[in-house]
Amino acid sequence: MDEITEQFIIFAKLFRRYVNEHHKNHGKYGNLLQGQGRILSVLNLRPNISQKDLTYLLAVRPQSLGELLVKLEKNHLVERHPAETDRRIMMIHLTDEGKKVAKKVTAGHNIQLFQTLAPEEQKQFIHLLSKLSATMQKELPEGNRHETFYEDPRRHFEMIKQLENDPDKEPGEFLKMMEQQEKNNS
């Protein structure tokens, strides 16, 4: 095994442990990379959203999201109700307690490890990671055409960034726009 592969494997294993430990310090919902913490972080940006749009933004299967929402409802952090315009659409919103927890979870979002790098090193690191991610994405086999969003974490983060920058736009609009951009780039 070459040294770069060895060092990356070591980094990946340590980083996973580091992130898990970091998020443990932020309580039950502290892990923004999975589970209920992810839902709360998105709802902190968009406190009232359809279950379908939340599924897109989180890149999870509808059944998985439903199970997580049931847990959050039991803890009185979210509520579900039919949309006023279309009763078939379920809207998710944070309760007052949910808003408090979501703010706390989101406040601990950034991982301080990367602050050990100088600003120029951070830019280089971002560039290298982006380059490697793009290469891996190209080399991985295509999955089900209707599930490409689930397989491309870059799309997930792009949608989250767009949600932060344009809170009035519906998440489904982001997905359509990104799909159109991909067609144009093909």
| Number of separate domains in the chain | 2
Write down the pLDDT at residue 125. 95
Examine the pLDDT at 149 and tell me if it is beyond 60. no
Distance of CA 181 to the CA centre of its chain: 20
Residue among 182, 186, 171 nearest 148 (CA): 182
User: Based on the domain organization, do 3 and 93 belong to the same domain?
Assistant: yes
Angle between helix axes 51-58 and 153-165 (nearest 10 degrees) is 120
Last residue of a domain, one of 83, 110, 137: 110
User: Based on the domain organization, do 128 and 103 belong to the same domain?
Assistant: no
Both tokens assigned to 79 = 């509520």
User: Based on the domain organization, do 100 and 140 belong to the same domain?
Assistant: no
Q: How are beta strands 78-82 and 90-94 bridged, if at all?
A: antiparallel
Q: What is the pLDDT of residues 16-64, one digit of tens each?
A: 888 777 777 666 776 665 688 888 888 888 878 889 888 877 878 889 8
- Structural domain boundaries enclosing 71: 1-110
Q: What is the pLDDT of residues 90-148, one digit of tens each?
A: 999 999 999 998 888 777 666 778 889 999 999 999 999 999 988 888 887 765 544 54
Write down the pLDDT at residue 148. 45
d(CA 67, CA 133): 30
Three-state SS sequence of 49-83: EEHHHHHHHHCCCHHHHHHHHHHHHHCCCEEEEEC
Long-range contact list for 142-147, CB < 8 A, 24+ apart? none
Last residue of a domain, one of 81, 110, 139: 110
Residue 86: CATH number of its domain = 1.10.10.10
Write down the pLDDT at residue 146. 47
